[in-house]
Amino acid sequence: MKKRTKKELEEFDYSSFEKLAIDKLRQGGDLVGSDGILKEIIQRIVSSALEGELTHHLEEEKKKRIPSDKGEGNRRNGIETKTINTSLGQVPIERSRDRKGTFEPMLIKKW
C-alpha cells in the first residue's frame, strides 16, 4: 500500500474512486479477495473515519488550551499503519498520529 500524504487523506475524491472501482470490475477485477474492490473501500472508509476522529480530537484540545500555556499545541505528526482483520481478509489502514500521543481512536483502538 502506497503511503498517502495528509492532503491525500483529507481530500478523498469519491467520484474518481468510484470510476476506478467500476473500471477494475469491468476489467475482471475481483469484488472480494486480497485485491478486491471492497477491501479498498473498507480501507478508505476506515482511514477517513480515523482522520475525522483525530481532527475532532485536535479541535477539542485547542478549545481547552489555556492562552498562557507556552508549550506547543498538539497537532498531526506523521502517519502510522496497522492491519485489521475483516470478513474479507486483512486490510492495511493508515492514520495520522498526534504529536502529544493523547489521541485514542474510538473506531479502532490505539496501536
The rounded distance, in Å, linking the Cα atoms of 103 and 97 is 8
Is residue 54 predicted with pLDDT exceeding 90? yes
Q: What's the rounded mean pLDDT across residues 3-27? A: 74
47: closest CA among 90, 86, 85, 12?
A: 12
Q: What's the rounded mean pLDDT across residues 76-93? A: 89
Of the two residues 73 and 79, the one the predictor is more confident about is 79
Of the two residues 4 and 53, the one the predictor is more confident about is 53
